[in-house]
Structure 1
Amino acid sequence: MLEGKLKDSYNEIFKLALKNNIKFSFNPNFSNKLWITDEEIKSFKKHFEKFIENANLIKLSKDELLLLTEIEDETKAVQSIINKNAKALICITRGCDDTIFAWKNEINYVSTILAKNLVDTTGARDAFISNLINDYVTL
């Protein structure tokens, strides 16, 4: 969601989804290498408020949860997302600890299956969200 044509395209797709009642997911993929200054981070957070309030599926890392809510207690932070969008399936990945799932105002924790002989986690986040979207869309 860097400034420019790509951000404009995302906003147009967002409007199209809302207008046509199309389910969509929100996965910000925040990187402190792309949004560096306090002003850039503030702009990032403000821009995504409308996505959080309208998405059907919200996937955040534990760091993104803290960044977007500014609430240290993860349960309270997840509840604040629920309060903004009660219809969404909310997933908070917490590395090898577990994943928090919030659905219909209920918060659950799903254990992570630890891999033996793990070599590389490149693409793990993309694989997680793509499978989740695929299963969610069929609900």
Structure 2
Amino acid sequence: MEIISKKGIVVENNNGNVKVMIQRDSGCGSCSTCGGCEVKPSYYTTFTNDDLNPGDFVFLDSDVKTVNKVSYLTYLFPVSMMTIGAILANTVFSNKGFDENLLTLLFIVGFLLISLIILRVYDKRYKNKNLIKIRKI
């Protein structure tokens, strides 16, 4: 199992609910003027039984397969659903005397909304699962 680790600093600990600040390296990943962009920190809150205090350095670890699965689902599923909606509208309503452009637009928006509802259900199902583990350095 391959692990992604990111170093962070504990900002607060509220009875085990730990808020960690993660400073990204750069805004875009790589450019010739590295450091020229303003990079805002990200915050992650998780529960842990470890005794962590503000200022402690920690690692946030996650499984690569889980991160990839969630990323693909989040970014590609809505696009796939919109494409299916467009193809379905053009296939079903071609040569029927309807305004195909309007129906295609309505199907795209409808399938996008359906995909967002499905993602919301998926997100709620994984809300209480600790996909990211925290460990003290």
**TM-score (ref. length: structure 2):** 0.23
Query: Which has a greater percent of helix?
Result: 1
The answer to which structure has the higher strand fraction is: 2
Give the structure-1-normalised TM-score: 0.22
Highest Rg: 1 or 2? 2
Larger RCO, structure (CA 8 Å, separation 6 or more) = 2
